[in-house]
Structure 1
Amino acid sequence: MDPAPLRSSFSPPHPLDLAQTLRPLSRGTADPTMQWDASGVWRTLPTPLGAATLHLAQNRGTVDATAWGDGAEWAIAAVPELLGAGDDAGDFDVSGNPFLLEAQRRNPGLRLLRTGLVLEMMIAAIFEQKVTGKEARRAWATLVRAHGEAAPGPAPSGMRVFPSAGAWRLIPSWEWHAAGVDPQRSRTAIAAASVASGLERTLALGRGGAEVAKRLRSVPGIGIWTAAETTQRAHGDADSVSVGDYHLPAVVGWALIGSPVDDDGMLELLAPWAGQRQRVMRLIEASGFAKPRFGPRMTIQDHRRH
């Protein structure tokens, strides 16, 4: 008989929008590690103590958490930070920008999460390097389903746990190929898995920053964009900006000044909020703003044909 689940309740001292806060973790409706249903959200976790399934249900100002599996205790303990308990907005002030001020007013429950799971967030970001979201989500679902263990407890059918570092290192080249992951990204993912324990140790350095980014970028194939995407989710970095993103500078430019900019222009626009630049990005995302639909689009690459 499976052990009884662990339960707890988290009552944050601030408004909390569960869906907006967890949005950066979603890898599409077919994501085997995260699913929403009428009862709340289900998420699997590869914790240091073993696999876990976590269910979160929001009831007004309280979030009820239930966890199953060997990693249940770790999963329950991590809920407050997952939901933004350590997120400090400090003196964040958008009163001088009407767009951001309205976005903040409409999204008072947006918090910056911290998963505490570096390898998982890094490999998800590696899959997104220089490809469309559709390609990245397909690769993620294919390989996690094939190599992750079944979710503990009564998780929705088909949910799996992010594979261990050892499992990633053993995936044969033809499986990467079949999943649509090119050799450069697969080599990078394997390199990350090979130093997984070192990656996790960066969590002790805090919620991001230059030293964390430096250590993550010491992995071959990890550049400024992938390191930023990782620290935003794993460490809860409120300031990291995904420089080198195909769409992001134009989105920031259109949202803040009504015209597109490049990476340098984006950083200039975000400079007044140094220390909280990722918070600005999340507010723009939460607002539902979309840049005008014109100009070239990224072409989906099918690496399985080669």
Structure 2
Amino acid sequence: MKIRTLGATGPRVSALGLGLMGMSDFYGPTDEGESLATIHAALDAGVTLLDTGDFYGMGRNELLLREALRGRDRDSVTISVKFGAQRDPAGNWLGYDARPAAVKTALAYSLNRLGTDYIDIYRPARLDPSVPIEETVGAIAELVQAGYVRHIGLSEVGAATLRRAQAVHPIADLQIEYSLLYRGIEKEILPTARELGIGVTAYGVLTRGLLSGHWTAGRELTAADFRAAGPRFQGEHLERNLALVEALRKIAAQRNITVAQAAIGWVASRGEDIVPLVGARRRDRLAEALGAADLALAEQDLAAIEAAVPAGAASGERYPVGQLHSLDSEG
């Protein structure tokens, strides 16, 4: 497994990371046994970056990760944790809380659930509009000073917020969606991150399965699967997006790789400061994604991929309108 460094001050991690969200929440029924086996397979393959959130499964995802790391060398993995999202017992969203006291309380619970003395990268899941980013980052900086956190990260924030946060404490990485179907960060956010020496961990590289090459037009989604409300998975939007996938499939087949590997490989090719997060929930999907880790896409390969899925070609927004308007990165 190749290694990349997250920004100027961040940790060295595997060139592909594993996002654990779908193992506990948001994508319908889960299988804990298969999830554990998938995490173990990732670790055995050299994946060191594991991403979770304290609100994934209302803490269940962190407990799953604790179990997966039982008997493993804690210092050999980089655990990234998002916090701040507020949910009620039914799982409904209540907003975000990134006040300094809430930051420290959330960390205490995460340390306990994960069974660890420190978290490698700690980040607010979104910008709390009622709390200046300086206060949130300042609170995490105190936790860094105390040894409970190694690095500070951010998620889905815009260029101006990156600058304000970096002025308080070095930011290791920005976690943000980036894929062939969403290239919005290229205009301002990515150049700013690079100017400031901030790495990028790219989630949604397969657009929540849409770019996996396994999605079909007739697939039925359960009420527990948040993709059912995603504009890109509905009606004519889905038809147009699947047409793009088929165009990509032809390019991938010519190079003897899969659609997913082409999509992941494209993101990885955008710079050594970018680490794609794959959300594989099963060992077979993980094995396919890992095949992208050693891809060396030539310039003509990348040009063919971008011709199949041009910038701005995606149909439908990446989130429902209400959620989209709450993202600082879309401001």
Q: TM-score, normalised by structure 1?
A: 0.25
Q: TM-score, normalised by structure 2?
A: 0.24
Q: Which structure carries more relative contact order (alpha carbon 8 Å, separation 6+)?
A: 2
